[in-house]
């Protein structure tokens, strides 16, 4: 921990904050596996089962650095709708998309795409390049 002040008695050392990934995946097993792998790699992880839950997390003020989202999910929005929301409401966030189907992503602003089944190591390496 480091202190950013000169001999201020009320100074508190700054906490080191691990980057946070919001994992949005309706398949609980896939979500658990990638979330656990991210945590093992030193990331903070928030999990959401769909876009509606993810938007609630983002609107809550939670500190998030990257959103990793499946594209095909039930609910009022799919991953593409979530990507549009993120880029319009929280443009500083990076969004990485994944799907078992190859969607047309030309008109969608995103920071990476992985076809399922994906390698957790490759996804984590890519996320690391976006944040660290």
Tally the domains of the chain: 1
Structure confidence at residue 7 (pLDDT)? 45
Is residue 6 included in any domain, yes or no?
no
CB atoms within 10 A of CB 76: 9
- Domain assignment present for residue 3? The answer is no
Q: Tell me whether residue 118 is exposed, middle or buried, using C-beta atoms within 10 angstroms of its C-beta: 0 to 12, 13 to 18, 19 or more.
A: middle
CATH of the domain at 97: 3.40.50.2300
121 lies in which domain range?
A: 20-131
Model confidence at 52: pLDDT above 60: yes
Q: What are the residues whose beta carbons fall under 8 Å from the beta carbon of 19, sequence distance 6 or more?
A: 43, 44, 65, 66, 131, 132
Strand order across the beta sheet in which 94-99 lies: 44-48, 20-24, 66-70, 94-99, 113-115
Q: Quick one: pLDDT at residue 17?
A: 66
Q: 98 or 7: which carries more pLDDT confidence? A: 98
> What's the token pair of residue 8?
């201020």
Mean pLDDT of the chain: 88
CA atoms within 13 A on the CB side of 15: 3
Question: Rounded to whole angstroms, how far apart are CA atoms 31 and 48?
Answer: 8
Tens of pLDDT, residues 11-46: 444 454 679 999 999 999 999 999 999 999 999 999
């Amino acid at each position: 921990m480091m202190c950013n002040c000169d001999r201020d008695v009320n100074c508190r050392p700054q906490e080191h904050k691990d980057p946070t990934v919001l994992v949005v995946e309706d398949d609980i097993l896939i979500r658990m596996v990638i979330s656990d792998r991210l945590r093992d790699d030193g990331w903070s992880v928030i999990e959401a089962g769909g876009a509606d839950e993810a938007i609630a997390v983002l609107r809550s003020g939670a500190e998030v650095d990257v959103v990793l989202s499946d594209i095909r999910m039930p609910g009022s929005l799919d991953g593409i709708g979530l990507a549009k929301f993120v880029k319009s409401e929280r443009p500083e966030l990076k969004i990485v998309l994944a799907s078992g189907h190859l969607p047309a992503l030309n008109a969608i602003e995103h920071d990476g795409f992985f076809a399922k089944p994906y390698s957790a190591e490759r996804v984590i390496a890519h996320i690391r390049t976006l944040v660290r």
